[in-house]
Chain A
């Protein structure tokens, strides 16, 4: 069965860095884009970043652009999120999520069909 397992969360001071990982199993990892979605305590879901199946293309939410970097290793079936210059507002549970669907003609029909259990990142002095 499909499994996504995040790790690397913890408490970090503002301005410092942290790297999250996501280990995948149960599907052909190299065939799918994978996303990071976060949820601040008591708040809703916020999309963070995506990396294409081959790792060539990455896209980021404006709130993290220039500070976060997403990468993947298809041989190890792992995804990473390097978070730099962390701020208090980055405090959240971070989920990795597998995408399903397609893009065509400049439009996309993409949903997140499997999610990990999440890892908590707390940015605090």
Chain B
């Protein structure tokens, strides 16, 4: 089965840049999607197809994907960005796969 690996936690000061990685074998050949989940709430799609943002998502959120690592980048981090972030791909053998999630803490 296909596995996505995320760091359990990332910490960043307000106004700085947060980078959350998602590792997977040849993930660069797949379409990667990112979700934000605030405590007690449902997930929200923040980046899809590696780099695209749904309407209403700030430009501060961006994504990249290359070889074995995809990255969600959040610039000018705000307190409201504190949440769990999950990457997700579709894999032929595993269907839909989520990473284990990364807790973003704004210091």
Contact = CB atoms under 8 A, between A and B. Distances in A.
B45 A113 contact: yes
Q: How large is the interface on A (under 10, 10 to 19, 20 to 34, 35 or more residues)?
A: 20 to 34
Interface in B21-52: 31, 33, 35, 37, 41-45, 48-49
A106 interface: yes
Interface in A78-114: 95, 100-101, 106-113
A25 B33 CA distance: 24
A45 B43 contact: yes
B49 A45 contact: no
Nearest to A46: B98
A116 B42 CA distance: 7
Contacts of A110: 31, 90, 96
A68 interface: no
Contacts of B99: 44
Contact of A112 (B31, B43, B97, B101): B43
21 contacts: A44-B86, A44-B98, A44-B99, A44-B100, A44-B101, A45-B35, A45-B43, A45-B88, A45-B98, A47-B96, A47-B98, A101-B31, A101-B48, A109-B31, A109-B49, A110-B90, A111-B48, A113-B54, A115-B42, A115-B43, A117-B41
Interface of B: 31, 33, 35, 37, 41-45, 48-49, 54, 86, 88, 90, 92, 95-101
Interface of A: 35, 37, 44-47, 50, 59, 61, 95, 100-101, 106-113, 115-118
